[in-house]
Amino acid sequence: MSIALFVSEEYLLENSVINENVAYTQIRPTLVKVQDMHIQPALGSALYKEVQAQVVSGTVSANNTTLLEDYIQPAIVQWMYFELPMVLSFKYMNKGMDRRTSTESNPMSVDEVFKLMDKVKNDAEWYTERITRYLQENHASYPLFDNPPTAIDTIYPNGSSYETGMALGRRGRFRDPLDYPEKRFYPF
């Protein structure tokens, strides 16, 4: 069974900052992972499999072409930025893992890496949220998005693509003044 890739090597090189000297064989497994872990939850497994089948057969419908070109492909590029740094920084060898270095560059500090990863993840989530909102707005054109099968292995479409690290709930430090009517208008 061939794996349907939603973006080509040329598309990645033209629409990203990935250097052309990076071997596609190094980034292809990450591309498959991005599609499975980040795009499939946005589409749901039924619509995802439909798009995959159409890409493999070479007969992508007009609706799915719009979905692919305008929404899925830009999101994949952003998720690749998020997933690739670790993949490209280390190489699995017989003796263990090696860290790749270059004589012409300096490694980033841990602080810089975390800041960059936060920014890249926010961008990727924004692009993925565009997929979700487009499908919600055009649900009549994508019946598998609205009515996925009920099999045990079905991945249902996410309602939102944003993830938070922590939820404080209503018992957090910042409370609504309406929760305390006795202190509503009193400054002390």
DSSP 21-70: TS-HHHHHHHHHHHIIIIIHHHH-HHHHHHHHHHHHHT---HHHHHIIII
Q: Do 39 and 76 meet the contact criterion of CB atoms below 8 Å apart?
A: yes
* Token pair 């208008």 in the structure block, residue: 185
Q: Which residues of the chain have pLDDT under 70?
A: 1, 92-94, 96-103, 161-188
- Taken as a whole, the chain contains a residue count of 188
| Residues facing 92 on adjacent strands | 97
Q: Do 41 and 86 meet the contact criterion of CB atoms below 8 Å apart?
A: no
Parse the chain into domains and list their residue ranges.
9-183
pLDDT recorded at residue 97: 66
Count CB atoms within 10 A of the CB of residue 104. Answer: 4
Tokens of 87: 């993949």
Q: CA geometry: angle at 89 spanning 86 and 95, to 5°?
A: 105
pTM of the model: 0.78
